[in-house]
Amino acid sequence: MKKLIIGNWKLNPVSLKEAVKLTSLIEKTKKNTVVLCPPHVFLSSVKYPNLGAQDCFWEEKGAFTGQVSPLQLKNFKIKYVLVGHSERRFAGDDDHMVNAKIRLALANNIVPVLCVGYKTTVLQDDMEVTDIIKNQLDLGLAGLEAEKVVVAYEPVWAIGSGKTATPDHTEKIALFIKNRYGVEKVLYGGSVNPSNAQGFLAQRNVDGLLVGGASLVPSYFNKIINL
Ligand code: PEP
């Protein structure tokens, strides 16, 4: 079964030239479905089979300075959008905003990737994690068709830290998300690299990966997407 592997470039690189170069170095593998999420400003210029955006707004158009809407993204053939990433939640996004963003992404036929795991601690206690993400999922998915939403379990302490959750724990959390909400695809994110990626991909209920730092290093990302 093909897995879904998403590269989140965050606020990198700084020039279009570098963005185009980086994209050209990422293989177009058939082994997995690969999605690149460059910054919004590069989305119309980089060419890759599947592109995603790192965020979107909950209104289609109007007086919303600085925002980018799912309708605009759809016009650039963007297929996926990250929503509720912990770095957006740190910047003020709450679960109601996340819900509204997902709703509009779905209305525009863009697959929302709902990131949960903000506020988790380093304990990896299954009960603690399910309590926290339950809240994020109850509100984030309220009134929506959950089967059309991809969920990325990203314990906040694992993002960019070099520490990861264990594959066993991640499998239990993925199963919980699927059973409780009817979500069909759950990804893991948090310090994924070529050495630890396989452990997650081998889990039955982990359908792929959300990769930050390692997606900026073509030799690392190419290894991960070809596993
Ligand atoms: C992310 O940005 O969602 C992420 C998981 O980053 P990293 O792989 O660098 O931890």
> Looking at residues 5-9, what average pLDDT do you find?
98
196 Cβ inside 6 Å of ligand 1:
no
132 Cβ inside 6 Å of ligand 1:
no
Q: Is the pLDDT score of 224 beyond 90?
A: yes
Q: Is the pLDDT score of 117 beyond 90?
A: yes
124 Cβ inside 6 Å of ligand 1:
no
Residue 161 CA: nearest ligand 1 atom is 10
- Cross-sheet strand order for the sheet of 80-83: 33-37, 4-8, 208-211, 185-189, 150-153, 111-116, 80-83, 52-53
Q: Angle 129-148-132 (CA atoms, 0-180°, nearest 5)? A: 15
Domain that holds residue 79: 4-225
Would you state the pLDDT for residue 170? 98
In DSSP terms, 160 is beta-bridged to none
Are the CB atoms for 174 and 181 separated by under 8 Å?
no
Q: Is the pLDDT score of 179 beyond 90?
A: yes
Q: Which two tokens stand for residue 127?
A: 């009960």
Q: What is the pTM of this model?
A: 0.98
Would you state the pLDDT for residue 1? 86
Q: Which two tokens stand for residue 33?
A: 């479905």
Q: What percent of the chain has pLDDT over 70?
A: 100
Task: Report d(CA 169, CA 124) in Å as an integer.
Answer: 7
| Ligand 1 center to 188 CA (angstroms) | 10
Would you state the pLDDT for residue 124? 87
| Ligand 1 center to 106 CA (angstroms) | 24
Tens digit of each residue's pLDDT (9 = 90 or more) over 68-111: 999 999 999 999 999 999 999 999 999 999 999 999 999 999 99
Would you state the pLDDT for residue 41? 98
Would you state the pLDDT for residue 225? 98
Q: What is the 3-state secondary structure (H, E, C) of the chain?
A: CCCEEEEECCCCCCCHHHHHHHHHCCCCCCCCEEEEECCHHHCCCCCCCCEEECCCCCCCCCCCCCCCCHHHHHHCCCCEEEECCHHHHHCCCCHHHHHHHHHHHHHCCCEEEEEECCCCCCCCCHHHHHHHHHHHHHHHCCCCCHHHCEEEECCHHHCCCCCCCCHHHHHHHHHHHHHHHCCCEEEEECCCCCCCHHHHHCCCCCCEEEECHHHHCHHHHHHHHCC
Tens digit of each residue's pLDDT (9 = 90 or more) over 15-54: 999 999 999 999 999 999 999 999 999 999 999 999 999 9
Q: How many domains does the structure of the chain reveal?
A: 1
CATH number of the domain where residue 34 is located: 3.20.20.70
> Looking at residues 178-196, what average pLDDT do you find?
98
Instruction: For 117, list phi and psi in degrees, rounded to 5.
Output: 130, -5
Tens digit of each residue's pLDDT (9 = 90 or more) over 133-175: 999 999 999 999 999 999 999 999 999 999 999 999 999 999 9
> Looking at residues 113-127, what average pLDDT do you find?
94
